[in-house]
Amino acid sequence: EIVMTQSPATLSVSPGEGATLSCRASQSVSSNLAWYQQKPGQAPRLFIYGASTRATGVPARFSGSGSGTEFTLTISSLQSEDFAVYYCQQYNNWPGTFGQGTKVEIK
């Protein structure tokens, strides 16, 4: 089973600033990597798939990059609605596995 490791666990950012979240796979997952956003009390929401394709309705300030074992989710200028937990998930190998999440909190 592929282990997904996210860093940092918590990221404190001021509104308007940028943020970079990292996700590392224990072995190559090609570009079969998704990011989900989860707000308190809500279900996860698909944000990025194919490592870099934004899902419907996701603002352009979110961008994903990477392939193989190293991936990044970048938020260019944080808005109030962006403070949440972000999970990466590989779906290249069976079974698909999730990282433990990065919490983006207001500084």
Partner 1 sequence: EVQLVESGGGLVKPGESLRLSCAASGFTFSSAWMSWVRQVPGKGLEWVGRIKSKASGGTSDHAAPVKGRFTISRDDSKDTLYLQMNSLKTEDTAIYYCATTRVVSGAMSMLYDDWGQGTPVTVSS
Q: Which of 37, 69, 90, 102 binds partner 1 (CB under 8 A)?
A: 90
72 vs 88: CA distance, rounded Å: 9
- Hey, which residues does 71 pair with through a beta bridge? 23, 66
Q: How far is CA 81 from CA 25, 33, 65, in A?
A: 28, 23, 22
Scan residues 7-66 and list those touching partner 1 (CB under 8 A).
30, 32, 34, 36, 42-46, 49-50, 55
Tokens of 57: 């309705």
Q: Give the nearer residue to partner 1 in terms of CB position, either 16 or 95.
A: 95
Give me the least distance between CB of 73 and partner 1, in Å please. 15
Secondary structure (3-state) at 83? coil
Q: Which residues bind partner 1 (CB under 8 A)?
A: 30, 32, 34, 36, 42-46, 49-50, 55, 87, 89-101
